[in-house]
Amino acid sequence: MAMEAAEIERLIKKGIPDAKVTIEDLRGDGDHYAAYVTSDLFSGKSRVQQHQMVYKALEGSMDGPLHALALQTSVPEK
């Protein structure tokens, strides 16, 4: 089962409203994605906490339709 890039982006933005999200379909198969997420809400949080916020936004998709998501998070540069 695969998942659309737009759907991944929608879920992340729903959970982290100010997020800037870039999604890359790594193999063009709709199954292996990389996501780059920047948000002010990440400020002061550890990488683990930042990733946990994204996983939480994805509402369990990591356990189901989303097979592989390489994740990189950061705080926007001022």
12 and 54 Cβ atoms separated by less than 8 Å? yes
- Residue from 2, 24, 40, 60 in contact with another protein (CB under 8 A): 60
User: Is residue 48 within the footprint of another protein (CB under 8 A)?
Assistant: yes
Provide the 3-class DSSP secondary structure of residue 37: strand
Contact set for another protein, span 4-23 (CB under 8 A): none
Among 71, 76, 77, 78, binds another protein (CB under 8 A): 71
CA angle 22, 28, 29 (to 5 degrees): 115
Which residues make Cβ contacts (< 8 Å) with residue 56, sequence separation at least 6?
A: 15
Residue 72 binds to another protein (criterion: CB under 8 A): yes
Does 26 engage in binding with another protein (CB under 8 A)?
no
Q: Are 37 and 8 in contact (CB under 8 A)?
A: no
Residues that bind another protein (CB under 8 A): 47-48, 51-52, 55, 60, 62-63, 68, 70-72
